């Protein structure tokens, strides 16, 4: 399964993606996490991204596209993945389309979490408070100033992706202001509907891959094998039977008639 979680910062993409990872045994690919790891490790990408991220602006497309291209080629992404925080611009979405097409893969769904700005600010403040309480460093961009810029960037550059994926028939939008479990249930509903549709749309030949359809060719093969073996045997059997029958008939004919 290959999914995209779309939504503004603080919408709960990461929380829901994590749950889907456990449920579907696929990997979560968060470009934000990857970039933060690069910043921490002070790699060349991390050094380029550090200040841009702290300001709440978007890292250049070429950098994130290269990171994602590399990541989805790794063996653990073969079974599927959830992209969280990518794509964030139309050129990134186009680059992703090209990446997937080059691998003969397709996107299964894009799930958009819709959340009002006021709620996002509360969530970001709460996340920063909880991180601080755990004694962990608070994200440089989890503050009202950076959030304002992140939101402005989201509406200008990322929100148009909803229309982009709606045109492709891939978009499902959910009320991201419901509880975590309600949002999770909605996502599950969407995914099982998609799975059902995919199954129904599979051509009959492909459905032959199912257990029921496999049973038919096996039965035919069985019959063939039997008849392939049997011609010689059945010829012998019928020869024996006819030779057994003929004397009996002859004997019956020769039997003297009672007076």
Applying CB under 6 A, among 53, 93, 115, 120 the residue interacting with ligand AMP is 53
Question: Closer to ligand AMP at the Cβ: 45 or 58?
Answer: 58
Applying CB under 6 A, among 4, 26, 45, 64 the residue interacting with ligand AMP is 64
Please state, in angstroms and rounded to a whole number, the distance separating the CA atoms of residues 230 and 202: 38
Applying CB under 6 A, among 4, 5, 39, 59 the residue interacting with ligand AMP is 59
Please state, in angstroms and rounded to a whole number, the distance separating the CA atoms of residues 80 and 28: 9
- The number of CA neighbours under 13 Å toward the Cβ of 194 is 18
DSSP of 147-163, one letter per residue?
HHHHHHHIIIIITHHHH
What is the smallest separation between the CB atom of 98 and ligand AMP, expressed in angstroms?
16
Please state, in angstroms and rounded to a whole number, the distance separating the CA atoms of residues 170 and 163: 10
Site for ligand AMP in 90-109 (CB under 6 A): 92
| Active site (annotated) includes residue 223 | no
Q: Which residue has the tokens 């989805």?
A: 72
Q: Is the distance from CB of 198 to CB of 190 less than 8 angstroms?
A: no
| Active site (annotated) includes residue 168 | no
Binding to ligand AMP by residue 35, rule CB under 6 A?
yes
Q: Residues interacting with ligand AMP, by CB under 6 A? A: 9, 31-32, 35, 52-53, 56-59, 64, 85-86, 88, 92, 141, 150
The catalytic site residues sit at 13, 88, 127, 139, 150
């Amino acid at each position: 399964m290959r999914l995209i979680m779309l939504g503004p910062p603080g919408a709960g993409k990461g929380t829901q993606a994590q749950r889907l990872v456990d449920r579907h045994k696929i990997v979560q690919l968060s470009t934000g996490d990857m970039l933060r790891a690069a910043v921490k490790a002070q790699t060349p990408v991390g050094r380029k991204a550090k200040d841009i991220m702290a300001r709440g602006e978007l890292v250049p497309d070429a950098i994130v596209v290269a990171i994602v291209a590399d990541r989805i080629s790794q063996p653990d992404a073969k079974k599927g993945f959830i992209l969280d925080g990518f794509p964030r611009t139309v050129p990134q979405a186009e680059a992703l389309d090209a990446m997937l097409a080059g691998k003969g893969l397709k996107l299964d769904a894009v799930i958009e979490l819709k959340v009002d700005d006021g709620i996002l600010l509360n969530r970001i403040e709460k996340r920063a408070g909880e991180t601080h309480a755990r004694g962990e460093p608070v994200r440089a961009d989890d503050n009202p100033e950076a959030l304002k810029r992140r939101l402005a960037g989201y509406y200008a550059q990322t929100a148009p992706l909803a229309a982009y994926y709606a045109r492709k028939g891939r978009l499902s939008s959910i009320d991201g202001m419901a509880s975590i479990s309600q949002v999770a249930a909605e996502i599950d509903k969407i995914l099982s509907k998609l799975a059902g549709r995919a199954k129904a749309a599979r051509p009959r030949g492909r459905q032959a891959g199912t257990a029921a359809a496999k049973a038919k060719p096996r039965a035919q093969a069985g019959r063939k094998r039997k008849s392939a073996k049997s011609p010689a045997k059945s010829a012998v059997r019928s020869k024996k039977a006819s030779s057994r029958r003929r004397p009996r008939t002859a004997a019956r004919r020769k039997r003297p008639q009672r007076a």
